[in-house]
């Protein structure tokens, strides 16, 4: 009998499928990536023309690349785009020349401190061309003439992003965002895409309270484009989360929203603390991923960011060492579980009013104590009922109750269900 495939293994397989594609902030690599994601969840793909004004930015020309290489005098490719999409400077201009190594060096990018790794470099808004390669490869090149070819094109086209919406019982939205602009980097980019996709697939089989909007967009310019096109409806975003660097072996890191006390900030803090997982919670900074766009003062959305080891916090960041072995099924499954638990808190966090607020109501004659008989957590469940009754004043939600009482949110939510069923509280 074949072994059962875990969600983590399925996510890793999705990362593996997307890994070879050459992604950038525009182009066919983004579309091919979204085609793969679209096999898991239905997507609404949006195309925004070159030259479109989006807030303070302009949608750039579309970049596509077919081939690129550096060949020695014998015709042997010493650097080959076909071997890795990282080998070309992102958004490189086309070039077809023969030049000496002494001239070529000005267009080469390496990592001397990690001589076997290839760096990831881009030049989106400054017209240049270049190659990225391992320092040890460069060191082995003899002086002489080299054929240099980059078969790329910068043309008027489109910026592409996609959305998947899971309808909820209310129109208020939870926004989940991931970036789709990096080439062959497994953790920074692809793990976040995989976790977001599997979270969307899980929610599609339910009837959630909130409406969930999953955004797959190029970093910075993609989020800015989405905000520009949706500025009038951002008021419906009740909570938000940016997913990035979601698959490495490091401990979970949650970065608060600019507000610092948004619903997602409190839900993540409660879940991470109550679970006993090793974790870090950091304050907002206006640098990082697209949380800085969603949290910009004009929008000030309650959007935090979840990663494992944060951006630039591990040596493999933006290098070829961020490969398929760097991300693990177990880490991605753990990231998915934390998202599931935090959204579960948001889904059930309600304010109630105590319908018997003068003195403690008699729980026994309503069968509420009897329902706890024999339960190993009977004392905790009883305390949860008393706390819910005490703080059900229309001003405090269930997460407030859990934080103040020190009880698990699940115990508090279960107590609220029981009290609501007995007619003692109302939403």
Tell whether the model's pLDDT for residue 91 goes beyond 90.
Answer: yes
pLDDT digits (tens, 9 = 90+) for 261-273: 999 999 999 999 9
Question: Which has the closest alpha carbon to 421: 367, 364, 346, 351?
Answer: 367
Quick one: pLDDT band at residue 164, thresholds 50, 70, 90? very high
Q: Between helices 192-204 and 329-348, what is the axis angle to 10°?
A: 50
Pair 245, 255: CB distance under 8 Å:
no
Q: What's the mean per-residue pLDDT of the chain?
A: 95
Supply the pLDDT for residue 382: 87
Tokens of 205: 């089989």
Distance CA 372, CA 419 (A): 13
Supply the pLDDT for residue 367: 80
Question: Which has the closest alpha carbon to 108: 61, 100, 187, 151?
Answer: 100
pLDDT digits (tens, 9 = 90+) for 337-357: 999 999 999 999 999 999 999
Q: Could you give the domains of the chain?
A: 7-60+158-347 (3.40.630.10), 62-155 (3.50.30.90), 349-426 (1.10.10.10)
If DSSP codes are grouped into helix, strand and coil, which group holds residue 236? helix
Determine which helix (DSSP H) or strand (DSSP E) holds 213, and give its type and residue range. strand 211-217
Distance of CA 131 to the CA centre of its chain: 28
What mean pLDDT is predicted for residues 162-170? Answer: 97
Strand-by-strand arrangement of the 173-179 sheet: 44-49, 158-166, 211-217, 173-179, 237-243, 303-307, 252-255, 279-282
pTM above 0.85, yes or no: yes
Distance CA 145, CA 147 (A): 7
Tokens of 329: 């099924």
- Owner of token pair 């800015």: 224
Quick one: pLDDT band at residue 1, thresholds 50, 70, 90? very low
Length of the chain: 427
Torsion angle of the four alpha carbons 176, 291, 178, 109, in this order, in degrees rounded to the nearest 10: -170
């Amino acid at each position: 009998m074949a072994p059962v495939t875990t969600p983590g293994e399925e996510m890793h397989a999705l990362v593996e499928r997307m890994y070879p594609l050459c992604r950038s902030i525009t182009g066919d690599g983004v579309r091919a990536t979204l085609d793969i994601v679209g096999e898991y969840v239905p997507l609404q793909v949006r195309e925004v023309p070159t030259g479109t004004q989006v807030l303070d930015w302009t949608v750039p020309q579309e970049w596509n690349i077919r081939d690129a290489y550096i060949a020695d005098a014998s015709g042997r490719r010493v650097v080959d785009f076909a071997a890795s999409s990282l080998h070309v400077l992102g958004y490189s201009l086309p070039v077809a020349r023969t030049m000496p190594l002494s001239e070529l060096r000005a267009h080469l990018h390496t990592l001397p401190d990690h001589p076997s790794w290839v760096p990831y470099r881009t030049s989106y808004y400054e017209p240049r061309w270049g190659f990225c390669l391992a320092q040890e490869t460069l060191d082995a090149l003899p002086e002489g003439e080299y054929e240099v070819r980059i078969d790329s094109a910068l043309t008027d086209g489109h910026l592409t992003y996609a959305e998947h919406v899971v309808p909820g019982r209310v129109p208020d939205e939870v926004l989940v965002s991931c970036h789709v602009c990096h080439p062959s980097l497994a953790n920074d980019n692809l793990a976040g895409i995989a976790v977001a996709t599997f979270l969307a697939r899980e929610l599609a089989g339910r009837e959630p309270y909130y409406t969930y909007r999953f955004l797959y967009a190029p970093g910075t310019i993609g989020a800015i484009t989405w905000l520009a096109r949706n500025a009038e409806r951002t008021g419906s975003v009740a909570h938000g989360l940016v997913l990035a660097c979601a698959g490495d072996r490091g401990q979970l890191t949650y970065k608060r929203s600019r507000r610092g006390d948004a619903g997602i900030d409190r839900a993540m803090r409660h879940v991470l603390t109550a679970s006993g997982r090793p974790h870090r919670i950091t304050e907002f900074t206006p640098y990082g991923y697209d949380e800085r766009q969603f949290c910009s003062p004009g929008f000030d959305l309650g959007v935090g960011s979840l990663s494992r080891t944060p951006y630039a916090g591990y040596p493999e960041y933006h290098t070829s060492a961020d490969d398929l072995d760097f991300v693990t099924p177990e880490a991605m499954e753990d990231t998915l579980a934390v998202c599931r638990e935090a959204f579960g808190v948001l889904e059930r966090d309600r304010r109630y009013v105590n319908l018997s607020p003068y003195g403690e109501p008699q729980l026994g004659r309503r069968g509420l104590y009897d329902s706890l008989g024999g339960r190993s957590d009977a004392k905790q469940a009883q305390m949860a009922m008393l706390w819910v009754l005490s703080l059900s004043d229309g001003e405090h939600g269930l997460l407030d109750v859990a934080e103040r009482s020190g009880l698990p949110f699940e115990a508090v939510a279960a107590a609220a269900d029981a009290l609501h069923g007995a007619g003692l509280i109302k939403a």
